[in-house]
Each structure stands twice: as C-alpha cells, then as structure tokens.
Amino acid sequence: MTVAAEQTYDLVGIGIGPFNLALAALADRVPGLRTAFFDAKPEFSWHPGLMFPDARLQVPFLADLVTMVDPTSPWSFLNYLRAHDRLFPFYFSERFHVPRTEYNHYCGWVSRSLSSCHFGTRVTGVAWNAGANAFQVTYLSDEGEQAVAARHLVLGVGTRPVVPEPFQSVEGQRVFHAADYLTRRASLAPVSDITVLGSGQTGAEVFLDLLRAQPEQGRRLRWLTRSPAFAPMEYSKLGLEHFTPDYTRYFRSLTGPVRDRLVPAQWQLYKAISADTIAEIHDLLYERSVGGGWPDVHLMPGVAVTRARDLGGAGLELSCHQREQQREFSTRTDAVVLATGFTACRPDFLRPIENLIEWDAAGRYQVDEHYRVILAEQVVGRLHVQNAELHTHGVGTPDLGLGAYRAAVILNAVTERSTYPLPRRTAFTTFGAHDDGAPTSPSSTGIATPLTTAPLPVTTTPHLATEVAHEHARTR
C-alpha cells in the first residue's frame, strides 16, 4: 500500500490510554513535530468495568498527563477544571486525590481536543520499509484500510487481564475477570455464593461492592488470595520514592535475575490495597457483628487455587492449597470474580517485524533507558514502549505519576534534544552504592546510563523542523 508524503509522521502512537495520551499532550507543544495516535475504541475509556462511582485515584491530581513535566501546559488537570468552570468547587473540596470518573472525563476532554488523536482506527499491521527508512502502519477505520508512515513508533496498547490456568477451562458467565465486573455484575444477581480471587486494590473494590449489597442479596462471600495478608499499600513519603526516576535508574543498573526476583517481593508497593478501602471493609464487617451476629464472609490469605472444576448446576469446586500450612482443601462456590491482575501483551500487529525485535530469554522486550526497544541494526527508526517495561524499569512502570516523565524522555529521544528539561534529582533516598559512594549521575534525558549497558547509537533526524524548542490508576 502506497503512503503519501502528507501521511508520513515523525511519531505514531498505537493505543490511546493515559500514557500515550500524555505523550500526545506533550508533543502538541513541540513545533514542527508531526504526530498521530490511533486507537480502536470509539472514544477514550479507562477501565470502564472498574469505574466505581466512589473510587478515587491513588495518586494526587498533579499526576495528570503533563504537570510533572510542564505545569504551564494547557492540558493540565487544573486547566481542565478552569475550562469547565469548576476551579472554585475543586478548591473548596480540598481533594488531593480525585475520583476515577473525573480523571476519565479529564482524559476524554484532552483526547477530544487534540487533533492528533484518532479513535475508531484499529491498527492491523506494522512493517519496516527499508527504502523509506520508516515504519508502515496499516489500520482499519470507517473509511476502509489505510496506511501511514512513521519514522518512530510508540506502543501504548495497555495490558491484558490475567486468567490463571486453573480457570481457563471454566471461564464464562459465572467466571470472569474483574476488568469486566461492572458490565457483568447483573449476571451475579441470582448467585448465592461468590468468590473473589486476588487481594490488590481491584479485588478489594469488587469485594467491598459485593459486601455492601450482601444484606439485600443474602449471599455468602469468600475472598481468597495467594498473598500472605490483606495488606495496605505502602504510602509513606519515603516509601513512595520508589516511584521516582532516581529509583528507576537504580533498578535498571541491576542484573536481569535480580530485577526478576525484586519485583514480586515489592508487592506492597503496587499490588496491595489502599488503607481507606481496608478500613471501610472492616467497618462494614464490624457493624454487622453488632448484637452477636457474624457476617457470612470468609477472608483467607495465603491460599492458592490449584484447580477449578465445573459441577454443572451445582456450581464450581475449587481445589485450594494453604501455602504456609502446606494443606490442601476444597470449597464450592457459584461464581468467581478474578481480580488476578494484568500483564503486558505482544500485539498481533507486530508479527511482520517480530524477527527485527531483540527479545530477552523470557520473550519480553529488551528496553533501554529511553524506553526504546532494541531492534535489529538495519532498522534506523525507534520503537518505544509505555507500560510494557516492568521487568526493566521496575514498579513505577504502571504508575500514573511517572507517565508524563516517561513521555518526556521519549520525546527528548525522538527530537534528540532536551525538548523537555527533566530534573536531575527526584528522591532524598540514595538507591544503591558506587565506588565513590555517590549516587548515579543523571544524564541530560533525566535517566542515567546503566553502568552495565552501553547506550544504543543515536541516529540523526534531519527532517525535524529547526524551530523545535523548549516549550503524565498510580494505576494501582
């Protein structure tokens, strides 16, 4: 398919979630940079199956699409409030953490305002055109199949729900992932026994929603998790410094095996529950024990489900393993909601260039300090990823508070200049030690070059206009 010159872009983003939207918003202020972002959805929508009306972000409103890099941007959350004549109500509400529904509305406002964002466009293929020194991106829209050329690509396709192996053969009407909870909650109305699996924030919110409705529904509730406890998210001020570029630099300096051991051990940083949600669950349980009663619920940590067997009209039988006691037991339930997390995925549209990507031993992207995937030498274009680098950049990868920073690092790499100057120090904590006892010195991009890895050679980009100048829930 031939691509016209006017359909050639400096940067094309695939997927329009919060992270690529942050990139689009920051790129909007870079003169001469031609960008386009594509998403198959008809409009911006962020985890609609978990959009509980009272749920709040676990990061402050400053973790919007742009403020942590460019507080003067017209796409900040505060400017969104001003545009909707809501600054005074927000001021008096004294909310540092905004409702999830409001954040979704804010992102929708930005996405509708940016001409670079194109919804209803499903990318079907990405190929490398050596003659044009560009990627060819093919997509489907209401106008049929079309193609554009991109000198550089950024993948922001999000993550996919994880369905544990024991449930893959029984997934259906009564066994589904929490990502679809609100859209499928009505199907649970006739059910008398429900099990929630997983104790992160999502699992806690689903269990709380079921618990609130329990007196009316009269059902039994069960909450199981492999984790050793229903534990609160680490939210101390020094603990939160793990969500800084300083910690990302330190994590990148570690060897691959150490990184792979470290991330699961840090579960309370990114897979636990907000203290407010834990408190509300306990308060409800306590209130229902007044007068000598006891709520019909079972909360069991340290339990792994090893098998799920469909009993037909009698529900499901779950074979379980208590990890500390090393004890096997079974339980029967009518439905299971899987709050078992999300994982990065390899999109089908990358198949034409899979052989040009350097994968690690586990089949994951190898990602450098600029969030750039290492490609074969003949590919001069860059392929960057957002929220697919947990194994190389650590627990801050899915964090909304680092979204704007990562987007700025990518833009600086694409424009080959400090289009957005980034801070040189972001944490009081010194992560790691070096021969002179000093922390790693940040590079001009705001991310230090790891001691163990040489940076990839930077190709020139003469096509960018010379006036390019100075000018983003915690998803947890």
Q: Domain locations in the chain?
A: 5-158+345-415, 164-233+272-340
Of 339, 335, 332, 338, which Cα lies nearest the Cα of 190? 335
Q: Name the burial class of residue 412, with classes exposed (0-12), middle (13-18) and buried (19+) by CB atoms within 10 angstroms of its CB.
A: buried
CA distance 295 to 284: 9
Gap between the Cα atoms of 282 and 305, Å rounded: 24
Query: Per-residue pLDDT tens for 155-170?
Result: 999 999 999 999 999 9
Instruction: Report the distance separating Cα 383 and Cα 361, nearest Å.
Output: 19
> Residues in the chain with pLDDT < 70?
1-6, 435-476
Q: In one letter, which amino acid is 169?
A: S
- Smallest Cα–Cα separation from 103: which of 134, 67, 71, 70? 67
Give the single-character DSSP code of 456. P
CA distance 472 to 177: 27
Q: How far, in Å, CA of 48 to CA of 332, rounded?
A: 30
pLDDT at residue 3 in the model: 65
pLDDT in the model for residue 313: 85
Cα–Cα distance for residue pair 467/238, rounded to 1 Å: 41
- DSSP secondary structure code for residue 232 in this structure: B
Question: What pLDDT score was predicted for residue 312?
Answer: 86
Decide yes or no: CATH 3.40.50.1860 for domain 164-233+272-340. no
Read off the DSSP letter of residue 318. Answer: E
Instruction: Give 84-125 pLDDT, tens digit per residue.
Output: 999 999 999 999 999 999 999 999 999 999 999 999 999 999
Residue type, 373: V
Nearest to 30 by CA among 474, 461, 473: 461
Coil, strand, or helix at residue 34? coil
Question: Which pLDDT belongs to residue 293?
Answer: 84
Fold of 5-158+345-415: FAD/NAD(P)-binding domain (3.50.50)
The two domains 5-158+345-415 and 164-233+272-340 share their CATH topology (first three levels equal): yes
Q: Are strands 303-310 and 316-322 parallel, antiparallel or unpaired?
A: antiparallel
The pLDDT tens digits of the residues spanning 366-421 come to 999 999 999 999 999 999 999 999 999 999 999 999 999 999 999 999 999 999 99
**Amino acid letter, residue 251:** F
